[in-house]
Amino acid sequence: MTRVLASKLIEAVCEALELNQRYVNEMLKLDSSFQMFAANYYPRCSQPDQAIGIPPHTDPGFFTFLIHNGVSGLQIELDGKWFNSDSPKNSILVNAADQLEIFTNGRCKSVKHRAVVNEERERISIVVANGPSGDAVIGPATALVEKDGRAKYCAMKYEEYVESQLTKSRIGGKSILEQQMIFPAN
Ligand SMILES: O=C(O)CCC(=O)C(=O)O
Ligand SMILES: [Fe+2]
């Protein structure tokens, strides 16, 4: 189900950016998309201001789908400030993720988020990260690089990206997404 939803969302983004759908399908190989599932359990915590459920990060993939047990805890960063995302129980919260930012050459930003704990209630969340095929090499779409005059990110095979994030995610304090960014020479 999430695979169909992710494909529709990617289709809509690519249409808005006037990208050729055939090119997108060839590049992303969504028919064999690599999906990751995570179940998170956050017990009650007597000192919630001294603890964190999941530290700040962005997710791999194009979109992340999240449901929870009606207890809020997900926070989203915007302009250096943290905001509660109080999505209702039984809703699916959709976040943009790293490969969407890379493929759109920075037009769609991967959402930085974290999960906090609380004193009264335990929290459970279930997350599905939808990516391209594991062997797809994802870099900025050629048409967008031409428009922008340069690629703002390096390309990387998706399965290697995921592995780097899970194993050696931070080099010099930089996330894997930040490590992929190419800054203009002066
Ligand atoms: O539990 C949450 O709200 C966030 C979980 C999360 O960010 C993750 O599993 O990547
Ligand atoms: Fe996450």
Calculate mean pLDDT across residues 20-41. Answer: 93
Closest C-alpha residue for ligand 1 atom 7: 114
Closest CA to 76 of 62, 60, 57: 57
User: Which tens digits make up the pLDDT trace of 151-175?
Assistant: 999 999 999 999 998 887 566 788 9
The 8 Å CB, 24+ separation contacts for 148-151 are 148/105, 150/182, 150/184, 151/105, 151/182
User: Which tens digits make up the pLDDT trace of 77-89?
Assistant: 999 999 999 899 8
* Per-domain residue ranges of the chain: 2-180
Burial of residue 99 (number of CB atoms within 10 Å: 0-12, 13-18, 19+): buried
Q: Are 128 and 65 in contact (CB under 8 A)?
A: yes
If one residue of 54, 59, 112, 123 were mutated to test the ligand 1 pocket, choosing by the most ligand atoms within 8 A of its CB, it would be 54
Q: What is the pLDDT of residue 186?
A: 62
- What is the pTM assigned to this prediction? 0.95
Give the CATH superfamily of 2-180.
Answer: B-lactam Antibiotic, Isopenicillin N Synthase; Chain (2.60.120.330)
CA distance 101 to 107: 6
Calculate mean pLDDT across residues 68-72. Answer: 95
